[in-house]
Amino acid sequence: MDNDTSQSTELYNSGESFFRELFVKCGEDPNRQGLLKTPHRVIQSFLELTQGYRQSAQEILNDALFDCDNDAPVYIQKIPFYSLCEHHLLPFFGHCDITYLPNKKVIGLSKIHRIIDMFARRLQIQERLTYQVANTLFELTQAQGVRVEMQAEHLCISMRGTHKINSTTFTSSCCGQPCPTRNPTNTDLWPTMVLQFHTKDFPISLGCFPKEFQEFTPVQIQVEVKFLTPPQGCKSDRIEDTICYDHLSQLLYACCFKKHFNLIEHCGYEAYSTLKKFFKLKSISHLLRLKLTKKLVHEDLQQSAFQIGDF
């Protein structure tokens, strides 16, 4: 038996033993029909979901660079990706938009998809994933500029923790010259990195009258953070250097959920101040904007909004 085969057998044996014990701890019977082969399948699945560690960008490229005199921007949009959050090993998934300015060379389109998959099929955070794709494409193509934008939903927020926050996170990263964007709403955000997310409805007590203290108004909070300098989380594996979405959502949850505020402005200011203190503690140079939207019970009006921020 060669060394690789021996290590593979040991991996499956120890992994299956671990999962069987975990099932018992959860209160399950690892010997019932539905779970009997599950440990083996989980290991196979995990190895497939992390196969990016066993790939290289140069092997994927395989000389698929082609001469091209056209230096107009190239846009590739809505590229789906799936990855695993390194903090909880839960999936995050979404789509990726790429713009690059060719420098006498263009890359085969399928190679871009495969490079995204290579980095996504590792234990990741979204900020670093965005940076790695942008930096790799910039180095491989020697383009004048590369812009990568990613938008994703993180199940470590939706499925665990507070269970109340369902966010969509937006990140962007650029190398070289600034690239144009096909999304006009994002032109003012370049070339900084941006994080955006929306909460589900928070039940918040609003009003000055006694009866309003007992009622809850659904309020949604939209958060937008513009990083003036890239956070260390782009390049570091250390959890203390990253922006943890779950932590941000818990901060908002703790300062707003089922609390009473005389005005929605007071709620907005408290949420804003809480996040500002967090980023100051992390020494992250940023601009922050919050928009709070509440539903109204009125025959002619449906909702109102309050906005607070640095930009």
Q: What is the pLDDT of residues 105-138, one digit of tens each?
A: 999 999 999 999 999 999 999 999 999 999 999 9
Neighbours of 120 (CB within 10 A): 24
Domain boundaries, the chain: 3-49
Write the pLDDT tens digit of every residue in 54-98: 999 999 999 899 998 888 899 999 999 999 999 999 999 999 999
φ and ψ of 233, to 5 deg: -60, -20
Residue 263: what pLDDT?
A: 84
CB 130 within 8 A of CB 121: no
Residue 190: what pLDDT?
A: 41
Residue 301: what pLDDT?
A: 67
Label residues 45-61 b or e (16+ Cβ within 10 Å = b): eeeebeebeebebeebb
CATH topology of domain 3-49: GTP Cyclohydrolase I; Chain A, domain 1 (1.10.286)
Residue 230: what pLDDT?
A: 59
CB 119 within 8 A of CB 57: no
Q: Is 11 helix (H, G, I), strand (E, B) or coil?
A: helix
**Model-level pTM greater than 0.75?**
no
What token pair was written down for 169? Answer: 């996170």
Sign of CA dihedral 37, 40, 43, 45: negative
Which residues in the chain land under pLDDT 70? 1-4, 161-166, 182-192, 211-212, 229-245, 297-301
Strand duo 260-261 + 202-206: pairing: parallel
Residue 298: what pLDDT?
A: 63
